[in-house]
Chains A and B, each alone.
Chain A
Amino acid sequence: GEDVEQSLFLSVREGDSSVINCTYTDSSSTYLYWYKQEPGAGLQLLTYIFSNMDMKQDQRLTVLLNKKDKHLSLRIADTQTGDSAIYFCAETKMEYGNKLVFGAGTILRVKS
């Protein structure tokens, strides 16, 4: 099965909060990442969290890490239409030179 799992689709109204969830399997991962991909473009790093942290906030973005349950979430406050994209959760595999293992991505659709 997949090392990193995400729900495939999330639809929210503009101005609401979005919460994208992710589960991972490698308890030795030191960093966990959230990337954003707009159509036909590369991946843009949104934020990352070190594994000894529970929470990280960066403007409208809040990352919560539950290491016991291997659960990571990304909350986007006051979601805007420009936030519509695919969001990827990723964990590091240290034995492969910091190889990133990605989830399948969550499509976020923001309705105005």
Chain B
Amino acid sequence: DGGITQSPKYLFRKEGQNVTLSCEQNLNHDAMYWYRQDPGQGLRLIYYSQIVNDFQKGDIAEGYSVSREKKESFPLTVTSAQKNPTAFYLCASNDRGGSGNTIYFGEGSWLTVV
């Protein structure tokens, strides 16, 4: 089945440690996105990529890094510079030529600092 796969579902990070969240899609979508969700707030855009080997900062990129070496993959690294990384992270993708420019989401990854 086509879709977006995020892993791991749950991840614990120690202080000062970098961690990487995986996002893979088999929808042949050009654009991919990373959002962060905190309780009581809407989703905030961290990074997005409209095409392979290119990506742009979103609203809250500080302390995060991404790469887009392959069309189907858009991993997010939460670095030690991110001071408050505990959140729910959502990856998304869309086919910019598709109907409604619909954006599809993965099931999310919970990151907790211990």
Contacts and interface: CB of A to CB of B under 8 A. Distances in A.
Interface of A: 2, 4, 8, 30-31, 33, 35, 40-45, 48, 50, 88, 92, 96-105
Given A44-B105, A88-B43, A31 B100 contact: yes
Interface of B: 4, 6, 31, 33, 35, 40-43, 45, 48, 50, 56, 58, 90, 92, 94, 96, 100-108, 110
Contacts of B41: 104
Contact of B56 (A41, A42, A43, A96): A96
Contacts of B100: 31, 48, 50
A28 to B, nearest CB: 14
A32 B71 CA distance: 26
Contacts of B102: 33, 45, 48
Given A35-B105, A100-B43, A100-B103, 7 more contacts: A30-B101, A31-B100, A44-B105, A96-B56, A99-B33, A101-B42, A105-B42
A13 B112 CA distance: 36
Contacts of A33: 102-103
18 contacts: A31-B100, A31-B101, A33-B103, A35-B105, A41-B107, A45-B104, A88-B42, A96-B48, A96-B56, A96-B58, A98-B96, A98-B101, A99-B33, A99-B48, A100-B33, A102-B43, A104-B40, A105-B42
A97 B33 CA distance: 10
A101 B103 CA distance: 12
B58 A99 contact: yes
B5 to A, nearest CB: 11
B50 A41 contact: no
B45 A103 contact: no
Contact of A40 (B45, B56, B108): B108
